[in-house]
Amino acid sequence: MFFQHVYDKSLAQASYFIGCQKAGVAAVIDAKRDVDTYLDIAKANGMKITHIFETHIHADFLAGSRELAALTGADMYLSDEGGPGWEYDFEHIGLKDGQKVQLGNLTFEVLHTPGHTPESISFLLTDNPASDKPVMLFTGDFVFVGDIGRPDLLEKAAGISGTANDGALQMYASINKFNALADYIQVWPGHGAGSACGKALGAVPSTTVGYEKARNWAFQYANDEPGFVKYLLEDQPEPPKYFAMMKHLNKAVRPLLTEVPKLKQLSAAELNAAMVQGIKLLDTRNKVDFAAGFIPGSYNIQGNNAFATWAGWFLKYDEQFILLADESQLDDLTRKLMRIGLDNIYGYVPSIATWTDTGGNLDTANVVSLAQAKAMMATNNVQVIDLRGAAEYNAGHIAGAENIFIGTLPDYFDKVNTDRKVLIYCQGGDRATIGYSILAKNGFKNISNFSGSINEWANAGEPLVS
């Protein structure tokens, strides 16, 4: 058996390439959208991709199953569980609980494991030449390392009311199915630490059934269904805004993108004209460089692993946008965006020089130190805004700070004072610089960014309240 774990750090998303070397055939589970990765693996190992599996209709990324099928001719094997409303709208081979799919000498058995979503399935793999016992379980968003999939996304992100509690009860039943499996089976989940699909995901890529039974919180509630449901639903992080669109696009017929697009470099005149039209400019530089001088009206979403997640909060799928990024970053950033379906890139500029070389002026950010932030708060004439999520805020915040989650900031401009100074912070400064750029773009002149945020505050021994 050939096995390769493919991990996208930007979305904390795992996919899997599994092949039968004797037959020269392979399967991909939960493919990301830039599918050249799997084509390269297949070519390097002399295999043909013939099977494409998905564990469920994903909300956190745009699956590349259809792109991969279009390029390889492979069949898509997708869940037919879940009932009305949970069907895929395009041609596929449907899977039900207990079915087995053969890939050369490998057997994949389907387990219906609802809870995260009603149609969720897991794949139990047996490597027949080695053993007649299953050796691997691919769980998708069912069981993670140290956690399980959250059932509230359909309600919070997709607006399907009443599904959170029902999903939690389904998850409780699915956990009992997992409990019946042999302890030695390896567990390969769909996500790792940093994913918004759970609240306490582990950082290691895999685990075992036995380890999760012993250490995962969910299995400590074997005889306490109400306690399980309560703990599962409380303190879950805010689901990114783009999740609802992913749910739609992953089950509907949509245009395919079978290669990474090449972006057009814009001239100064084109950049000016686009910004006059209201096309958003995403400045992907480091927050320190942005603060030192930025094009007025631009958003600062740094080109790090969280880039796509925050872009998904603030971009609409029907609007064009521009990237400010060095050419060496373009392929990486474009891949991160296409993985959540943000394909509508108008073009890019490589630096602020495109703006300044033709006479454009730059703005600078008002970044304040810890001492300056304390001095501002001592006057009692400043509004302090914590831009973190509600669970983070509740766990410990600066006394007197109000909580406005960064992802929803544009919806709550009316809560930001205009008649006195406003001090914003987050955990480590990244979200605060996004917030500063959004507020500056929308005409707020009274904002100070405490970029050191809670990390610097706490490390200096300053008090937090909860």
Tell me the sheet residues that pair with 392.
none
How many other C-beta atoms can be found within 10 angstroms of the C-beta atom of residue 261? Answer: 14
Residue 248's pLDDT is what? 93
Per-residue pLDDT band at 169 (split at 50, 70, 90) = very high
Residue 458's pLDDT is what? 97
Is residue 447 classed as helix, strand or coil in its secondary structure?
strand
pLDDT tens figures, 19-35: 999 999 999 999 999 99
Q: Is the pLDDT of residue 85 over 90?
A: no
Question: Domains in the chain, please, with CATH?
Answer: 2-249 (3.60.15.10), 268-356 (3.40.250.10), 367-459 (3.40.250.10)
pTM listed for this prediction: 0.94
Residue 101's pLDDT is what? 98
pLDDT tens figures, 267-301: 999 999 999 999 999 999 999 999 999 999 999 99
Per-residue pLDDT band at 202 (split at 50, 70, 90) = confident
Q: Is the pLDDT of residue 235 over 90?
A: no
Q: 61: which residues sit within 8 A by CB, 6+ positions away?
A: 8, 11, 13, 32, 33, 246, 339, 340
pLDDT tens figures, 132-156: 999 999 999 999 999 999 998 878 7
Per-residue pLDDT band at 242 (split at 50, 70, 90) = very high
* 196/88: higher pLDDT: 88
DSSP for 227-282 reads HHHHHHHTTPPPPPTTHHHHHHHTTS------SPPPPPBPPHHHHHHHHHTT-EEE
Work out the average pLDDT over 172-200. 92
Residue 154's pLDDT is what? 74
Work out the average pLDDT over 39-43. 98
Q: Is the pLDDT of residue 59 over 70?
A: yes
Residue 121's pLDDT is what? 98
- C-alpha span between 228 and 154 (Å, rounded): 19
Secondary structure, 3-state, 319-376 = CCEEEECCHHHHHHHHHHHHCCCCCCEEEEECCCHHHHCCCCCCECCCEECHHHHHHH
Q: Is the pLDDT of residue 383 over 90?
A: yes
Crossing angle of helices 65-72 and 36-44, rounded to 10°: 50
